[in-house]
A and B are shown apart, each in its own frame.
Chain A
Amino acid sequence: EVELLESGGGIVQPGGSLRLSCAASGFTFTNYAMTWVRQAPGKGLEWVSVISATSGTTYYADSVKGRFTISRDNSKNTLYLQMNSLRAEDTARYFCANKVGGIHSSFDYWGRGTLVTVSS
Chain B
Amino acid sequence: IIMTQSPASLSVSPGERATLSCRASQNIASNLAWYQQKPGQAPRLLIYGASTRATGFPARFSGSGSGTQFTLTISSLQSEDVAIYYCQHYNNWPYTFGQGTKLEIE
Interface residues of A (CB under 8 A from B): 37, 44-47, 50, 59, 61-62, 95, 101, 104-113
B interface secondary structure, majority: loop
Whether A44 contacts B86 by the Cβ 8 Å rule is yes
For the complex, give the distance between the alpha carbons of A113 and B90 in Å.
21
Chain A residue with Cβ nearest B91 = A104
Contacts of B33 in A (CB 8 A): 106-107
Whether B48 contacts A95 by the Cβ 8 Å rule is no
Interface residues of B (CB under 8 A from A): 31, 33, 35, 37, 41-45, 48, 54, 86, 88, 90-100
Whether A106 contacts B48 by the Cβ 8 Å rule is yes
Contacts of B45 in A (CB 8 A): 106-110
Task: Report 26 cross-chain contacts, Cβ distance below 8 Å, ordered by A residue.
Answer: A37-B43, A44-B86, A44-B97, A44-B100, A45-B37, A45-B43, A45-B86, A45-B97, A46-B97, A47-B96, A50-B93, A61-B94, A101-B48, A104-B31, A104-B92, A105-B48, A105-B90, A106-B48, A106-B88, A107-B35, A107-B43, A107-B45, A108-B45, A108-B54, A110-B42, A111-B42
Chain A residue with Cβ nearest B34 = A106
Contacts of A59 in B (CB 8 A): 93-94
